[in-house]
Structure 1
Amino acid sequence: MVRKKALSSKPKPSAAAEKSENRRPSNAERSAYFARREAAKVLRSVLQGDAQRHAVGSIKSLVYGPSVKNKKATFALVCQTLKHLPIIKNVLESAAILNSKWKRQEELIYIIVYDILFGQEISLVGGDAEKFLIGRKNALQSALAKLLVGKKVRSIEDLIDFYQPPDVSKPCCVRVNTLKADVDCALLELGKQFTVRKDDIVPDLLILPPHTDLHNHPLVLNGSVFLQGKASSMVAAVLAPKPGWEVLDACSAPGNKTVHLAALMRGKGKIIACELNKDRIKRLEDTVRLSGATNIEVLHGDFLNLNPKDPSFSKIRAILLDPSCSGSGTTAQRLDYLLPSHATDVTDTERLKKLSAFQKKALAHALSFPAVERVVYSTCSVNQIENEDVIMSVLPLATSHGFQLVTPFPQWHRRGLPVFRGSENLLRTDPIEDQEGFFIALFVKKSNINDSEEQNGIRNNPRTISTQKRHFKRYSHVNRKNILMPAVYSGALKIWYFRLILQRRTRRTKLV
């Protein structure tokens, strides 16, 4: 009798609960269920990459990859969960409701707790995780109330105010994939819905207003245009490989710069796309497939282990080196401010030293390939240790191999920090004024320097000379010893240039 009574004393689920559990889920409920699972997978990759300081991709690149179906809902869930993550972790710890089983699915738990406390109301229709957490909704809400009291704030808005993302009004940039589309045709097609213009630096880049959402646009889905920032698009354009060349992209995933190289080469020649991380190889292959490029060979391996004397690399004429870096110049675009490490780290000096050591080694290796004529080194970092310091340390080796720094995009006004003679040849973009912080250096073999100058619009360009003079004048207080001589040479070059112009005009007058 006692046993029977004990069994009968167990509370029975209400009729409404039974009906909710047994009814067929609606389309919206099914969509929300799968979006939570997709968001949990992306969140796991993001958090693991952040913890190891070696991300497989940015939040946007992971969400908008081909494997995620419900992109908009998944992106919103991931971003909002990350924004509320410190609060969610505090609530779960205070409520003490997770056992070892659910801790193994912590990313999914974070997503569902966000929905329960801050997002949409979740019905009992769902998976076991949803049912488990909904059954403990009161405990979660009670823990949240205690947290508000403990932090001495009155509302949820006050609690999350610190985690609000900055207002980034960056223009939307798309690079036209000329393997599949014509720039003017893409301009016309996008112009039907948006205000769009051509960029004044990169020929195949189009600029649209901030917050323009093109992720589901047919031109993006079929690979006719790629969502790519202006500074990122500059890199391949600076390398400027010619059709028919053999080119090596040393650290190529996710592949936007790789397929840009293929477009610049008009699909002719050969590109070896080297990538060490096996998780990023699939993303690279997906990008190549979407672009329609047929001259790209994906190589899964370590660039530093490639033998420059190997006959298979004997015809490599250009190398694009965009190595792993801190990403400090694109934290806003990558949404890195949402990651746990952003809230705890001020500057990871040891990590920067390790990155810099790898970057120096990789650049020295790139310069050692015997047939190489052009090498571009680029980072999305604003740190001198990853940029000017790397170039300065490798410059003697580059000179011994017959390389010289050449000015990319002479009309660009922002140059390298004046820490060594020749830094005016480096290119920088500013994370605030240009909405991206990039660094680009171009090495060219001296035997090919004239062709390179013509290609980059440097020869006899008075605008280049005035830009260099402004560069030295602006930073003359930093290191006068290093920058005085180039400034003098720039003035002499300017005088020579105007004399040349005067001579040409005199000749033309005589001919007339």
Structure 2
Amino acid sequence: MSLYLEAATILESPQTTSLKAIIYNPSKPFKSPQPKLYALIVETLKFQDILKEVVENAGILKLERKLTPLLSILLTHDLLLTKSGIATSSGPLKDAILRHKARLNAEFTRARLRRGHRDVKSLVEAVNAEYSRESEDGVTKTANGLTTFNPRWIRVNTLKMTLEESLSSPMFSAFEEVSGMSDMFFFDIVRKYYYPKAELLPNIFAIHPSHDVTSSELYKSGKIILQSASSCLPAIMLDPPMGSTVVDGCAAPGNKTTHLAALVGDSGKVFAVERDRRRADILEKMIAKAGAENIVTTLKATDFTTITEGHPAWQASYLLLDPSCSGSGILQRVDWDISKLNLPISDARSGQPSRRKRKRDEASQQDSLAQPEDQESQQAAEEVEDGDASKERLQSLSDFQVAIILHAFSFPRAKRVTYSTCSIHAEENEHVVARVLNSEIAKERGWEVQSRKDNPLSTWHRRGLVSELSNLEAGSEERQRVADGCVRVNRTDSLGGGFFVVCFVRQFDDGGQLGGDYGKSDMALAQNDGSRFQGIGVSIEAEDQEWNGFSDEETKEAGCAIDAVDDDPQPGKRKKQKSTKGQQAGSDRINRRFQKNRKGWS
């Protein structure tokens, strides 16, 4: 019975930190296994509304005075929703529930049918779908039954220490290396294991998400950085040599910037571009914490597309672009709020739902019966509208992303450019790649996608989608080569979320010079006069939270929290979804603005 008593104690206590921290970092050890305790509380929270209804309608709190509302829903959850039932031997509390087993089952059946579920499996799937975000214990079941692991990834800041030094530090000296991700999970007690993937992610390793590293000296001093593995891929793929000059075109919050600084070293130079002053302040804090002030120059309140001839960053050879995107690949961690627990009341009327709720349900049923066609038409219209809005937003983002890349292509000494998004949508990924490769500036200057065999991420198994490159002006073999050069990460790949990254490289001519006549024409984008970006209206807002150091889980991809504003001349009317011809017209307009011997937007 200690399992339920300890769970009730946790739920009755004021919540001062996350539920995971309460259970896995307790001030006093629990008698119950931590994973079981966490699972019981989370599952009860998920089903709390239906459990409250069942307990109230069964009227057991009026009959069993030893039962508290909290214990009643914890015990009823295991009675009704677990195969093994209540996980304890006989006792007064278990007996108090079992005396009313038939009544509880009957009320549960009524509650399930009222919600339109013909069996328990259907109800469970619906509730799990509602809470289908990443679980705090690091294990997620996908809709098709796949198990994915979401560990805490740690990047060692090699400006301050080596990987070997970090693993031998007091924080990690007791940790043992495991050969597989799953080896860190499915234990009654979380063990001190770490998992490296050195061939893909140098100086990066994973641990179980319940391990707290934020209070360690390594974290506080910036020697280790919490950063999802997927967001480490752009800098790894760019692979700038030591001592080189790099531009991070969309820099805040700074994890990728500090990663670049570690790669180029003290003899290198990184220009970190950030157009938002508030986010630039966060960026500077992270740079200082990482000890990269002598390497990184922050360009505050600067639009990347305004960097042209005469600017020190204009001579950079390597550019990293991680612009605003839909953020569709980001995993959202659940932080359960136990203060909002919906508990049953002991004086509720037994045997039926409340009169107010029943009248509301009956009215809803009458409306459904009276006008089924109208409701279906309205629902269909809403779905279409939502779909159109999503397509419009993706198209606006895609236009913005294409413009950013084309400006990077105009840098006279640029050798490599990586483009990445935390998006799973082809409109922001393969479609953007096709559009920029079709551009005049890419063809004139010899830009192409780096082949798989030449990039540092060649061992990663998931590549780009060749089916989404149908608009690329190339033969089938080249389309396949381009797709193989792109890297995709699914949300189920355990690297910290869905991601896309590609590296563009510039060809050399017969004389060993970079492609394109950059000596005669810089083909730069002049300072943005607003004409090109009207209608795109990308605004970047940092997540509404206090910055707490180097955590991709707290400030990760803050630039992905965007709002695309449509430039609609007639408020109240939705713009039509762009057709393929419309998209091509947009590309043509971009190409015209990059005519040879022209400077800036035309």
One-letter identity of the residue aligned with 1:318: Y
Query: CA separation of 1:440/1:337 partners in 2, compared to 1, >3 Å: closer, same or farther?
Result: farther
One-letter identity of the residue aligned with 1:325: C
Given that 1:319 and 1:375 are in contact with CA atoms closer than 8 Å, whether structure 2 keeps it comes out as yes
Q: CA–CA distance in 2 between the matches of 1:254 and 1:152?
A: 47
Tell me: higher relative CO, structure 1 or 2? Use CA pairs within 8 A at least 6 residues apart: 2
One-letter identity of the residue aligned with 1:313: A
Q: Of 504, 507, 531, which aligns to 1:446? A: 507
Q: Of 377, 389, 411, which aligns to 1:369? A: 411
Q: Deviations over 1:157-205 (max 9, x none)?
A: 9998664354433122111000011111112232424212432312111
SS in 2 for 1:236: helix
Question: How much has 1:214 moved relative to structure 2?
Answer: 2.3
Query: CA separation of 1:209/1:345 partners in 2, compared to 1, >3 Å: closer, same or farther?
Result: farther
Q: Deviations over 1:202-235 (max 9, x none)?
A: 2111122354332323211211111112221121
Q: Deviations over 1:26-80 (max 9, x none)?
A: xxxxx979x69xx9xxxxxxxxxxxxxxxxxxxxxxxxxxxxxxxxxxxx9xxx9
Point out the structure with the larger helix share.
1
Q: CA–CA distance in 1 between the matches of 2:267 and 2:312?
A: 18
Match of 1:416 in 2: 464
TM-score normalised by length of structure 1? 0.54
Given that 1:187 and 1:196 are in contact with CA atoms closer than 8 Å, whether structure 2 keeps it comes out as no
Query: Do residues 317 (structure 1) and 361 (structure 2) align?
Result: no
Q: CA–CA distance in 2 between the matches of 1:334 and 1:277?
A: 26
Q: Deviations over 1:344-394 (max 9, x none)?
A: 977722211111111111111111111111110011111100000001000
One-letter identity of the residue aligned with 1:401: R
Query: CA separation of 1:335/1:233 partners in 2, compared to 1, >3 Å: closer, same or farther?
Result: farther
One-letter identity of the residue aligned with 2:196: K
Q: Deviations over 1:269-318 (max 9, x none)?
A: 22111112233222211211110112111112343442322342332111
Given that 2:420 and 2:500 are in contact with CA atoms closer than 8 Å, whether structure 1 keeps it comes out as yes
Match of 1:174 in 2: 154
Question: How much has 1:447 moved relative to structure 2?
Answer: 2.4
Given that 1:165 and 1:337 are in contact with CA atoms closer than 8 Å, whether structure 2 keeps it comes out as no
SS in 2 for 1:248: strand
Q: Of 166, 181, 184, which aligns to 1:186? A: 166
Give the aligned CA root-mean-square deviation in angstroms.
Answer: 4.4
- Identity between Structure 1 and Structure 2 (%): 32
Of stretches 166-175 and 219-228 in structure 1, the one that deviates more from structure 2 is: 166-175
Match of 2:194 in 1: 196
Question: How much has 1:333 moved relative to structure 2?
Answer: 4.3
Question: How much has 1:334 moved relative to structure 2?
Answer: 5.7
Q: CA–CA distance in 1 between the matches of 2:437 and 2:129?
A: 44
Q: CA–CA distance in 1 between the matches of 2:228 and 2:297?
A: 25
Match of 1:222 in 2: 221
Question: How much has 1:434 moved relative to structure 2?
Answer: 3.9
TM-score normalised by length of structure 2? 0.47
Q: CA–CA distance in 1 between the matches of 2:153 and 2:503?
A: 23
One-letter identity of the residue aligned with 2:464: G
Given that 1:373 and 1:448 are in contact with CA atoms closer than 8 Å, whether structure 2 keeps it comes out as no
Q: Deviations over 1:87-141 (max 9, x none)?
A: 9xxxxxxxxxxxxxxxxxxxxxxxxxxxxxx9xxxxxxxxxxxxxxxxxxxxxxx
Unpaired segments ≥5 residues, structure 1: 1-30, 40-75, 88-117, 119-147, 339-343, 453-512
Match of 1:398 in 2: 442
Query: CA separation of 1:160/1:440 partners in 2, compared to 1, >3 Å: closer, same or farther?
Result: closer
Q: Deviations over 1:455-490 (max 9, x none)?
A: xxxxxxxxxxxxxxxxxxxxxxxxxxxxxxxxxxxx
User: What is the count of residue pairs matched by the alignment?
Assistant: 322
One-letter identity of the residue aligned with 1:303: D
Q: CA–CA distance in 2 between the matches of 1:369 and 1:376?
A: 14
Match of 1:244 in 2: 243
SS in 1 for 2:307: coil
Query: CA separation of 1:388/1:234 partners in 2, compared to 1, >3 Å: closer, same or farther?
Result: same
Query: CA separation of 1:335/1:443 partners in 2, compared to 1, >3 Å: closer, same or farther?
Result: farther
Query: Do residues 437 (structure 1) and 488 (structure 2) align?
Result: no
Query: CA separation of 1:442/1:188 partners in 2, compared to 1, >3 Å: closer, same or farther?
Result: same
Given that 2:271 and 2:313 are in contact with CA atoms closer than 8 Å, whether structure 1 keeps it comes out as no
Question: How much has 1:243 moved relative to structure 2?
Answer: 2.4
Q: CA–CA distance in 1 between the matches of 2:221 and 2:207?
A: 19
Question: How much has 1:400 moved relative to structure 2?
Answer: 1.8
